[in-house]
Chain A
Protein backbone atom coordinates (compact mmCIF):
# COMPACT_ATOMS: atom_id res chain seq x y z
CA UNK A 1 0.00 0.00 0.00
CA UNK A 2 1.11 3.50 -0.78
CA UNK A 3 0.06 4.80 2.59
CA UNK A 4 1.80 1.97 4.38
CA UNK A 5 5.02 2.83 2.61
CA UNK A 6 5.19 6.28 4.16
CA UNK A 7 6.88 6.13 7.56
CA UNK A 8 4.09 7.15 9.91
CA UNK A 9 6.44 8.54 12.50
CA UNK A 10 7.72 11.05 9.97
CA UNK A 11 4.51 13.05 10.21
CA UNK A 12 2.86 13.77 13.53
CA UNK A 13 -0.68 12.58 14.17
CA UNK A 14 -1.95 16.15 13.92
CA UNK A 15 -0.33 16.48 10.53
CA UNK A 16 -1.96 13.25 9.37
CA UNK A 17 -5.36 14.38 10.64
CA UNK A 18 -5.11 17.67 8.82
CA UNK A 19 -3.88 15.99 5.66
CA UNK A 20 -6.58 13.31 5.61
CA UNK A 21 -9.39 15.76 6.32
CA UNK A 22 -8.05 18.18 3.74
CA UNK A 23 -7.87 15.53 1.06
CA UNK A 24 -11.36 14.25 1.91
CA UNK A 25 -12.81 17.74 1.83
CA UNK A 26 -11.03 18.44 -1.45
CA UNK A 27 -12.37 15.23 -2.99
CA UNK A 28 -15.92 16.09 -1.95
CA UNK A 29 -15.60 19.69 -3.06
CA UNK A 30 -14.44 18.57 -6.49
CA UNK A 31 -17.06 15.85 -6.73
CA UNK A 32 -19.89 18.15 -5.73
CA UNK A 33 -18.71 20.90 -8.06
CA UNK A 34 -18.65 18.52 -10.99
CA UNK A 35 -22.04 17.11 -9.99
CA UNK A 36 -23.55 20.56 -9.67
CA UNK A 37 -22.48 21.32 -13.23
CA UNK A 38 -23.52 17.94 -14.65
CA UNK A 39 -26.80 17.83 -12.76
CA UNK A 40 -27.66 21.49 -13.15
CA UNK A 41 -31.39 22.07 -13.33
CA UNK A 42 -32.35 24.79 -15.75
CA UNK A 43 -34.70 26.96 -13.78
CA UNK A 44 -35.93 30.47 -14.11
CA UNK A 45 -32.94 32.64 -13.15
CA UNK A 46 -35.35 35.04 -11.53
CA UNK A 47 -35.98 32.52 -8.76
CA UNK A 48 -32.39 32.89 -7.57
CA UNK A 49 -32.52 36.65 -7.98
CA UNK A 50 -35.71 36.96 -5.98
CA UNK A 51 -34.25 34.74 -3.29
CA UNK A 52 -31.21 37.00 -3.13
CA UNK A 53 -33.48 40.00 -2.61
CA UNK A 54 -35.27 38.37 0.32
CA UNK A 55 -34.11 38.70 3.92
CA UNK A 56 -33.22 35.00 3.97
CA UNK A 57 -34.46 34.44 7.50
CA UNK A 58 -36.66 31.49 6.42
CA UNK A 59 -39.12 32.64 9.06
CA UNK A 60 -42.22 31.42 7.24
CA UNK A 61 -44.01 34.70 7.84
CA UNK A 62 -45.26 34.67 4.23
CA UNK A 63 -46.94 31.30 4.78
CA UNK A 64 -44.45 29.37 2.62
CA UNK A 65 -41.89 26.85 3.82
CA UNK A 66 -39.06 29.35 3.49
CA UNK A 67 -37.52 32.08 1.40
CA UNK A 68 -36.72 29.69 -1.48
CA UNK A 69 -40.31 28.46 -1.64
CA UNK A 70 -41.58 32.04 -1.55
CA UNK A 71 -39.20 33.09 -4.34
CA UNK A 72 -40.46 30.25 -6.49
CA UNK A 73 -44.10 31.13 -5.76
CA UNK A 74 -43.45 34.76 -6.70
CA UNK A 75 -41.89 33.81 -10.02
CA UNK A 76 -44.76 31.43 -10.75
CA UNK A 77 -47.17 34.22 -9.94
CA UNK A 78 -48.64 32.39 -6.98
CA UNK A 79 -47.48 34.94 -4.43
CA UNK A 80 -47.49 38.74 -4.53
CA UNK A 81 -44.18 40.55 -4.87
CA UNK A 82 -44.98 42.26 -1.61
CA UNK A 83 -45.70 38.98 0.16
CA UNK A 84 -42.68 39.11 2.44
CA UNK A 85 -43.84 40.70 5.68
CA UNK A 86 -40.33 41.00 7.10
CA UNK A 87 -38.63 42.62 4.10
CA UNK A 88 -41.21 45.37 3.93
CA UNK A 89 -41.64 47.84 1.07
CA UNK A 90 -37.95 48.03 0.09
CA UNK A 91 -37.82 44.26 -0.39
CA UNK A 92 -41.06 44.36 -2.36
CA UNK A 93 -39.61 47.04 -4.62
CA UNK A 94 -36.49 44.98 -5.38
CA UNK A 95 -38.57 41.91 -6.16
CA UNK A 96 -40.92 43.96 -8.33
CA UNK A 97 -37.89 45.24 -10.25
CA UNK A 98 -36.70 41.67 -10.86
CA UNK A 99 -40.15 40.54 -11.91
CA UNK A 100 -40.65 43.58 -14.10
CA UNK A 101 -43.99 44.45 -12.58
CA UNK A 102 -45.04 47.78 -11.22
CA UNK A 103 -44.70 47.97 -7.52
CA UNK A 104 -47.85 48.82 -5.69
CA UNK A 105 -47.46 49.54 -2.05
CA UNK A 106 -49.30 46.79 -0.30
CA UNK A 107 -51.17 47.97 2.72
CA UNK A 108 -49.11 46.87 5.66
CA UNK A 109 -50.92 45.19 8.47
CA UNK A 110 -50.03 46.14 11.97
CA UNK A 111 -51.18 44.89 15.32
CA UNK A 112 -53.59 46.99 17.37
CA UNK A 113 -55.02 46.41 20.81
CA UNK A 114 -58.77 46.28 21.20
CA UNK A 115 -58.75 47.65 24.70
CA UNK A 116 -58.17 51.19 25.92
CA UNK A 117 -58.73 50.67 29.62
CA UNK A 118 -55.55 51.73 31.35
CA UNK A 119 -54.97 50.73 34.93
CA UNK A 120 -57.03 53.67 36.18
CA UNK A 121 -60.10 52.74 34.11
CA UNK A 122 -60.14 49.09 35.04
CA UNK A 123 -62.23 48.12 38.01
CA UNK A 124 -61.11 45.15 40.03
CA UNK A 125 -63.38 42.82 41.93
CA UNK A 126 -60.71 42.06 44.49
CA UNK A 127 -56.97 42.56 44.79
CA UNK A 128 -55.16 40.06 42.58
CA UNK A 129 -51.97 38.47 43.84
CA UNK A 130 -51.73 35.48 41.55
CA UNK A 131 -49.54 34.47 38.64
CA UNK A 132 -48.10 37.35 36.67
CA UNK A 133 -48.70 35.78 33.28
CA UNK A 134 -51.79 36.68 31.24
CA UNK A 135 -52.32 33.09 30.09
CA UNK A 136 -52.52 31.87 33.70
CA UNK A 137 -54.29 34.87 35.19
CA UNK A 138 -56.93 34.59 32.47
CA UNK A 139 -58.04 31.26 33.96
CA UNK A 140 -59.21 32.98 37.13
CA UNK A 141 -62.72 34.38 36.62
CA UNK A 142 -62.38 37.27 39.05
CA UNK A 143 -58.92 38.43 38.06
CA UNK A 144 -60.43 41.76 37.09
CA UNK A 145 -63.85 43.23 36.57
CA UNK A 146 -63.88 43.00 32.80
CA UNK A 147 -63.81 39.49 31.42
CA UNK A 148 -62.68 40.76 28.00
CA UNK A 149 -60.17 43.51 28.72
CA UNK A 150 -56.39 43.61 28.80
CA UNK A 151 -54.84 42.05 31.88
CA UNK A 152 -51.70 44.13 31.51
CA UNK A 153 -49.32 41.35 32.57
CA UNK A 154 -47.41 41.45 29.31
CA UNK A 155 -47.47 38.00 27.67
CA UNK A 156 -47.38 39.89 24.37
CA UNK A 157 -44.26 41.81 25.41
CA UNK A 158 -42.49 38.62 26.39
CA UNK A 159 -43.28 36.90 23.11
CA UNK A 160 -42.16 39.79 20.88
CA UNK A 161 -38.80 38.95 19.35
CA UNK A 162 -38.26 42.46 18.06
CA UNK A 163 -38.73 44.46 21.24
CA UNK A 164 -41.55 46.40 19.63
CA UNK A 165 -43.84 46.31 22.65
CA UNK A 166 -43.64 48.04 25.97
CA UNK A 167 -46.05 48.35 28.87
CA UNK A 168 -47.45 51.74 29.72
CA UNK A 169 -50.24 52.36 32.20
CA UNK A 170 -51.15 48.66 32.18
CA UNK A 171 -51.54 48.46 28.39
CA UNK A 172 -49.03 47.35 25.77
CA UNK A 173 -47.80 50.08 23.42
CA UNK A 174 -46.69 49.10 19.91
CA UNK A 175 -43.60 50.62 18.35
CA UNK A 176 -44.35 50.17 14.67
CA UNK A 177 -40.80 51.15 13.71
CA UNK A 178 -39.64 47.88 15.24
CA UNK A 179 -42.76 45.79 14.59
CA UNK A 180 -42.56 43.29 11.72
CA UNK A 181 -46.23 42.23 11.93
CA UNK A 182 -45.20 38.67 12.63
CA UNK A 183 -48.34 38.11 14.65
CA UNK A 184 -46.65 36.50 17.66
CA UNK A 185 -48.43 38.88 20.04
CA UNK A 186 -51.76 38.12 18.37
CA UNK A 187 -51.50 34.47 19.33
CA UNK A 188 -49.92 35.20 22.71
CA UNK A 189 -52.88 37.21 24.01
CA UNK A 190 -55.18 34.77 25.83
CA UNK A 191 -58.06 37.18 25.46
CA UNK A 192 -57.57 37.74 21.73
CA UNK A 193 -57.31 41.49 22.08
CA UNK A 194 -54.59 42.04 19.52
CA UNK A 195 -55.53 42.04 15.86
CA UNK A 196 -53.56 42.75 12.69
CA UNK A 197 -55.40 45.44 10.75
CA UNK A 198 -54.46 47.00 7.40
CA UNK A 199 -52.85 50.36 8.05
CA UNK A 200 -54.23 52.34 5.13
CA UNK A 201 -52.93 55.54 6.68
CA UNK A 202 -50.33 56.30 9.28
CA UNK A 203 -53.15 56.83 11.74
CA UNK A 204 -55.94 54.32 12.05
CA UNK A 205 -59.13 54.47 14.07
CA UNK A 206 -59.66 51.35 16.14
CA UNK A 207 -62.42 50.17 18.44
CA UNK A 208 -60.63 50.08 21.75
CA UNK A 209 -62.83 47.51 23.41
CA UNK A 210 -63.60 43.84 23.07
CA UNK A 211 -66.32 43.48 25.67
CA UNK A 212 -69.42 41.68 24.50
CA UNK A 213 -71.14 42.38 27.80
CA UNK A 214 -74.22 44.61 27.74
CA UNK A 215 -73.51 48.31 28.17
CA UNK A 216 -74.64 48.32 31.76
CA UNK A 217 -72.19 45.62 32.76
CA UNK A 218 -69.40 47.36 30.85
CA UNK A 219 -70.07 50.57 32.75
CA UNK A 220 -69.80 48.70 36.05
CA UNK A 221 -66.37 47.28 35.31
CA UNK A 222 -64.73 49.88 33.09
CA UNK A 223 -64.64 53.61 32.48
CA UNK A 224 -63.69 53.35 28.84
CA UNK A 225 -65.47 50.35 27.31
CA UNK A 226 -67.78 50.23 24.30
CA UNK A 227 -71.41 50.07 25.32
CA UNK A 228 -72.59 48.61 22.05
CA UNK A 229 -75.11 51.41 21.63
CA UNK A 230 -74.65 51.56 17.86
CA UNK A 231 -74.48 55.35 17.68
CA UNK A 232 -71.41 55.15 15.47
CA UNK A 233 -73.07 52.66 13.15
CA UNK A 234 -75.92 55.07 12.56
CA UNK A 235 -73.47 57.77 11.49
CA UNK A 236 -71.24 55.78 9.19
CA UNK A 237 -71.56 52.40 7.52
CA UNK A 238 -67.91 51.72 8.25
CA UNK A 239 -69.11 50.83 11.73
CA UNK A 240 -71.31 47.97 12.76
CA UNK A 241 -72.58 47.17 16.21
CA UNK A 242 -73.01 43.44 16.71
CA UNK A 243 -73.32 41.66 20.00
CA UNK A 244 -72.92 44.72 22.20
CA UNK A 245 -69.73 45.76 20.50
CA UNK A 246 -68.87 48.23 17.76
CA UNK A 247 -66.57 47.03 15.05
CA UNK A 248 -64.94 48.70 12.06
CA UNK A 249 -65.08 47.25 8.56
CA UNK A 250 -61.60 48.05 7.28
CA UNK A 251 -62.53 47.23 3.69
CA UNK A 252 -64.79 50.30 3.70
CA UNK A 253 -62.52 52.39 5.89
CA UNK A 254 -60.85 55.38 4.25
CA UNK A 255 -59.29 57.67 6.82
CA UNK A 256 -59.57 59.02 10.32
CA UNK A 257 -61.05 62.36 9.33
CA UNK A 258 -64.06 60.86 7.58
CA UNK A 259 -65.16 59.24 10.82
CA UNK A 260 -65.20 62.37 12.94
CA UNK A 261 -68.97 62.50 13.18
CA UNK A 262 -69.33 58.92 14.19
CA UNK A 263 -66.67 59.41 16.78
CA UNK A 264 -68.43 62.45 18.19
CA UNK A 265 -71.56 60.41 18.75
CA UNK A 266 -69.72 57.79 20.80
CA UNK A 267 -70.86 58.18 24.39
CA UNK A 268 -67.99 56.11 25.69
CA UNK A 269 -64.34 56.82 24.98
CA UNK A 270 -63.96 53.49 23.32
CA UNK A 271 -62.59 54.63 19.97
CA UNK A 272 -58.88 55.13 19.73
CA UNK A 273 -56.36 56.07 17.06
CA UNK A 274 -53.19 54.10 16.53
CA UNK A 275 -50.29 55.97 14.99
CA UNK A 276 -46.64 55.21 14.26
CA UNK A 277 -45.66 55.23 17.92
CA UNK A 278 -48.72 53.43 19.24
CA UNK A 279 -51.92 54.69 20.77
CA UNK A 280 -52.77 58.37 20.27
CA UNK A 281 -55.63 59.92 22.20
CA UNK A 282 -58.34 60.77 19.67
CA UNK A 283 -58.49 64.32 20.95
CA UNK A 284 -54.93 64.88 19.69
CA UNK A 285 -55.94 63.68 16.25
CA UNK A 286 -59.17 65.55 15.71
CA UNK A 287 -58.73 68.65 17.81
CA UNK A 288 -56.77 71.62 16.54
CA UNK A 289 -53.81 72.62 18.68
CA UNK A 290 -55.76 75.47 20.26
CA UNK A 291 -58.65 73.31 21.43
CA UNK A 292 -59.03 72.55 25.05
CA UNK A 293 -59.64 69.07 26.27
CA UNK A 294 -63.10 69.88 27.63
CA UNK A 295 -64.74 70.75 24.32
CA UNK A 296 -63.12 68.12 22.17
CA UNK A 297 -66.40 66.33 21.52
CA UNK A 298 -68.00 69.48 20.26
CA UNK A 299 -64.99 70.34 18.16
CA UNK A 300 -64.85 66.91 16.66
CA UNK A 301 -68.50 67.15 15.72
CA UNK A 302 -68.01 70.25 13.59
CA UNK A 303 -66.46 69.49 10.24
CA UNK A 304 -63.01 70.89 9.75
Chain B
Protein backbone atom coordinates (compact mmCIF):
# COMPACT_ATOMS: atom_id res chain seq x y z
CA UNK B 1 0.00 0.00 0.00
CA UNK B 2 2.70 2.47 1.04
CA UNK B 3 4.85 1.46 -1.92
CA UNK B 4 1.89 2.01 -4.22
CA UNK B 5 1.25 5.47 -2.78
CA UNK B 6 4.90 6.44 -3.17
CA UNK B 7 4.75 5.20 -6.75
CA UNK B 8 1.61 7.26 -7.44
CA UNK B 9 3.22 10.31 -5.88
CA UNK B 10 6.48 10.08 -7.82
CA UNK B 11 4.68 9.28 -11.06
CA UNK B 12 2.39 12.27 -10.74
CA UNK B 13 5.15 14.63 -9.62
CA UNK B 14 8.08 13.69 -11.83
CA UNK B 15 7.60 10.93 -14.37
CA UNK B 16 4.22 12.04 -15.66
CA UNK B 17 4.86 15.66 -14.80
CA UNK B 18 1.76 17.65 -15.74
CA UNK B 19 3.68 20.38 -17.51
CA UNK B 20 6.38 18.37 -19.24
CA UNK B 21 4.54 15.15 -20.02
CA UNK B 22 0.94 16.23 -20.54
CA UNK B 23 1.49 19.91 -21.48
CA UNK B 24 -1.17 20.95 -19.00
CA UNK B 25 -1.07 24.30 -17.23
CA UNK B 26 1.25 25.88 -19.79
CA UNK B 27 -0.40 29.29 -19.39
CA UNK B 28 0.70 29.96 -15.79
CA UNK B 29 3.89 27.99 -16.46
CA UNK B 30 4.93 30.61 -19.01
CA UNK B 31 3.08 33.55 -17.48
CA UNK B 32 4.23 33.49 -13.85
CA UNK B 33 7.71 32.05 -14.27
CA UNK B 34 9.58 35.34 -14.42
CA UNK B 35 10.63 35.41 -10.78
CA UNK B 36 11.35 32.49 -8.51
CA UNK B 37 9.40 33.77 -5.50
CA UNK B 38 6.27 34.30 -7.59
CA UNK B 39 6.72 30.93 -9.27
CA UNK B 40 6.98 29.18 -5.89
CA UNK B 41 3.83 30.98 -4.74
CA UNK B 42 1.97 30.04 -7.90
CA UNK B 43 3.18 26.46 -7.64
CA UNK B 44 1.88 26.10 -4.11
CA UNK B 45 -1.38 27.86 -4.93
CA UNK B 46 -1.92 25.35 -7.73
CA UNK B 47 -0.93 22.50 -5.43
CA UNK B 48 -3.41 23.65 -2.83
CA UNK B 49 -6.26 24.16 -5.29
CA UNK B 50 -5.47 20.87 -6.99
CA UNK B 51 -5.59 18.96 -3.70
CA UNK B 52 -8.84 20.60 -2.61
CA UNK B 53 -10.41 20.20 -6.04
CA UNK B 54 -9.17 16.62 -6.45
CA UNK B 55 -10.57 15.50 -3.11
CA UNK B 56 -13.86 17.39 -3.53
CA UNK B 57 -14.42 16.11 -7.06
CA UNK B 58 -13.63 12.58 -5.92
CA UNK B 59 -16.25 12.88 -3.17
CA UNK B 60 -18.86 14.34 -5.47
CA UNK B 61 -18.15 12.00 -8.35
CA UNK B 62 -17.66 8.71 -6.54
CA UNK B 63 -20.13 9.21 -3.72
CA UNK B 64 -22.89 11.10 -5.52
CA UNK B 65 -22.74 11.12 -9.31
CA UNK B 66 -21.89 7.46 -9.94
CA UNK B 67 -24.58 6.28 -7.48
CA UNK B 68 -27.36 7.97 -9.40
CA UNK B 69 -26.00 7.50 -12.90
CA UNK B 70 -25.07 11.11 -13.54
CA UNK B 71 -21.47 10.53 -14.67
CA UNK B 72 -22.09 12.75 -17.68
CA UNK B 73 -22.31 15.72 -15.31
CA UNK B 74 -18.66 15.34 -14.35
CA UNK B 75 -17.33 18.29 -16.38
CA UNK B 76 -19.86 20.84 -15.18
CA UNK B 77 -19.60 19.75 -11.55
CA UNK B 78 -15.79 19.66 -11.70
CA UNK B 79 -15.64 23.15 -13.14
CA UNK B 80 -18.07 24.37 -10.48
CA UNK B 81 -15.98 22.83 -7.72
CA UNK B 82 -12.71 24.18 -9.10
CA UNK B 83 -14.16 27.68 -9.48
CA UNK B 84 -15.47 27.59 -5.92
CA UNK B 85 -12.17 26.29 -4.56
CA UNK B 86 -10.22 29.02 -6.36
CA UNK B 87 -12.51 31.67 -4.90
CA UNK B 88 -11.81 30.31 -1.45
CA UNK B 89 -8.06 30.21 -2.00
CA UNK B 90 -8.13 33.74 -3.35
CA UNK B 91 -9.93 35.07 -0.28
CA UNK B 92 -7.58 33.16 1.99
CA UNK B 93 -4.40 34.42 0.32
CA UNK B 94 -5.77 37.95 0.19
CA UNK B 95 -6.43 37.85 3.90
CA UNK B 96 -3.23 36.26 5.11
CA UNK B 97 -0.63 36.87 2.37
CA UNK B 98 -1.44 40.29 0.87
CA UNK B 99 1.93 40.70 -0.85
CA UNK B 100 1.60 37.31 -2.51
CA UNK B 101 -1.92 38.29 -3.55
CA UNK B 102 -0.58 41.46 -5.14
CA UNK B 103 2.13 39.66 -7.06
CA UNK B 104 -0.28 37.04 -8.41
CA UNK B 105 -2.44 39.68 -9.99
CA UNK B 106 -4.64 38.19 -12.65
CA UNK B 107 -3.07 34.72 -12.43
CA UNK B 108 -4.77 33.64 -9.25
CA UNK B 109 -8.31 33.87 -10.69
CA UNK B 110 -6.89 32.22 -13.76
CA UNK B 111 -6.23 29.02 -11.79
CA UNK B 112 -9.98 28.56 -12.31
CA UNK B 113 -9.33 27.92 -15.97
CA UNK B 114 -6.05 26.13 -15.39
CA UNK B 115 -6.34 22.93 -17.38
CA UNK B 116 -3.89 21.17 -15.04
CA UNK B 117 -6.50 21.25 -12.26
CA UNK B 118 -9.32 19.92 -14.41
CA UNK B 119 -6.85 17.45 -15.92
CA UNK B 120 -5.92 16.13 -12.47
CA UNK B 121 -9.60 15.71 -11.52
CA UNK B 122 -10.30 13.82 -14.74
CA UNK B 123 -7.19 11.63 -14.39
CA UNK B 124 -8.32 10.65 -10.91
CA UNK B 125 -11.59 9.34 -12.34
CA UNK B 126 -9.82 7.69 -15.28
CA UNK B 127 -7.37 5.80 -13.04
CA UNK B 128 -10.23 4.95 -10.64
CA UNK B 129 -8.25 5.96 -7.56
CA UNK B 130 -9.53 5.57 -4.03
CA UNK B 131 -9.66 8.45 -1.55
CA UNK B 132 -6.11 8.18 -0.19
CA UNK B 133 -4.71 7.60 -3.66
CA UNK B 134 -6.62 10.67 -4.88
CA UNK B 135 -5.12 12.76 -2.11
CA UNK B 136 -1.58 11.57 -2.86
CA UNK B 137 -2.02 11.94 -6.60
CA UNK B 138 -3.34 15.52 -6.28
CA UNK B 139 -0.54 16.62 -3.99
CA UNK B 140 2.02 14.90 -6.21
CA UNK B 141 0.70 16.47 -9.39
CA UNK B 142 0.56 19.90 -7.75
CA UNK B 143 4.11 19.61 -6.40
CA UNK B 144 5.22 18.45 -9.84
CA UNK B 145 3.76 21.62 -11.29
CA UNK B 146 5.44 23.67 -8.57
CA UNK B 147 8.75 21.95 -9.33
CA UNK B 148 8.40 22.61 -13.05
CA UNK B 149 7.48 26.27 -12.70
CA UNK B 150 10.22 26.89 -10.10
CA UNK B 151 12.92 25.34 -12.30
CA UNK B 152 11.62 27.40 -15.21
CA UNK B 153 11.66 30.61 -13.18
CA UNK B 154 15.22 29.91 -12.01
CA UNK B 155 16.36 29.46 -15.60
CA UNK B 156 14.49 32.54 -16.78
CA UNK B 157 16.04 34.68 -14.05
CA UNK B 158 19.47 33.64 -15.36
CA UNK B 159 18.30 34.17 -18.95
CA UNK B 160 17.76 37.86 -18.19
CA UNK B 161 21.52 38.24 -18.13
CA UNK B 162 22.22 36.01 -21.09
CA UNK B 163 23.00 37.35 -24.52
CA UNK B 164 20.09 35.81 -26.36
CA UNK B 165 20.14 36.11 -30.17
CA UNK B 166 17.62 38.69 -31.25
CA UNK B 167 15.14 36.41 -33.09
CA UNK B 168 14.86 34.18 -30.00
CA UNK B 169 14.20 36.91 -27.48
CA UNK B 170 11.00 36.91 -25.46
CA UNK B 171 8.57 34.03 -25.96
CA UNK B 172 10.93 32.24 -28.35
CA UNK B 173 13.68 31.50 -25.85
CA UNK B 174 11.08 30.73 -23.17
CA UNK B 175 9.43 28.06 -25.27
CA UNK B 176 12.80 26.65 -26.31
CA UNK B 177 13.82 26.45 -22.66
CA UNK B 178 10.56 24.69 -21.83
CA UNK B 179 11.13 22.21 -24.65
CA UNK B 180 14.66 21.34 -23.48
CA UNK B 181 13.40 21.01 -19.91
CA UNK B 182 10.65 18.67 -21.09
CA UNK B 183 13.25 16.56 -22.90
CA UNK B 184 15.28 16.33 -19.72
CA UNK B 185 12.22 15.16 -17.82
CA UNK B 186 11.55 12.49 -20.43
CA UNK B 187 14.66 10.80 -19.02
CA UNK B 188 12.50 9.66 -16.09
CA UNK B 189 10.38 7.52 -18.38
CA UNK B 190 10.94 3.85 -17.65
CA UNK B 191 11.50 1.69 -20.67
CA UNK B 192 10.40 -1.86 -20.22
Contact = CB atoms under 8 A, between A and B. Distances in A.
Interface stretch (A21-29, A75-83, A210-218, A235-243): A21-29
A20 interface: yes
A32 interface: yes
A24 B87 CA distance: 15
Interface string B38-70: 000000000000000000000010001101111
A21 B76 contact: yes
A16 B77 CA distance: 13
A32 B81 CA distance: 11
Contacts of A24: 60, 77, 80-81
B106 A65 contact: yes
Contacts of A13: 69-70
A36 B91 contact: yes
A68 to B, nearest CB: 10
Q: How large is the interface on B (under 10, 10 to 19, 20 to 34, 35 or more residues)?
A: 20 to 34
Interface residues of A, number: 22
A53 to B, nearest CB: 22
Contacts of B69: 8, 13, 16
A195 to B, nearest CB: 27
A17 interface: yes
A71 to B, nearest CB: 14
B77 A21 contact: yes
Chain A CB count within 10 A is highest, among B77, B80, B84, for B84
B169 interface: no
Given A21-B76, A41-B95, A32 B67 contact: no
Contacts of B64: 3, 20
Contacts of A21: 73, 76-77, 80
Contact of B84 (A17, A32, A65, A66): A32
Interface string A45-85: 00000000000000000000110010000000000000000
Contact of A28 (B68, B73, B84, B92): B84
Contacts of B80: 21, 24-25, 28
Nearest to A25: B80
B67 A20 contact: no
A65 B102 CA distance: 11
A193 to B, nearest CB: 27
A3 B92 contact: no
Given A31-B84, A31-B88, A16 B94 contact: no
A88 to B, nearest CB: 25
A294 interface: no
Contact of B88 (A8, A17, A20, A32): A32
Contacts of A20: 64-65, 68, 70, 73, 77
B80 to A, nearest CB: 6
Interface string B73-104: 10011001100100110011011001000000
Contacts of B91: 35-36, 39
Contacts of B65: 20
15 contacts: A3-B64, A3-B67, A3-B68, A4-B67, A8-B69, A13-B70, A16-B68, A24-B81, A32-B87, A35-B87, A35-B88, A39-B91, A39-B95, A40-B95, A41-B94
Given A16-B70, A21-B73, 14 more contacts: A3-B64, A3-B67, A4-B67, A8-B69, A16-B68, A17-B70, A20-B70, A28-B80, A28-B81, A28-B84, A31-B84, A32-B84, A39-B91, A69-B105
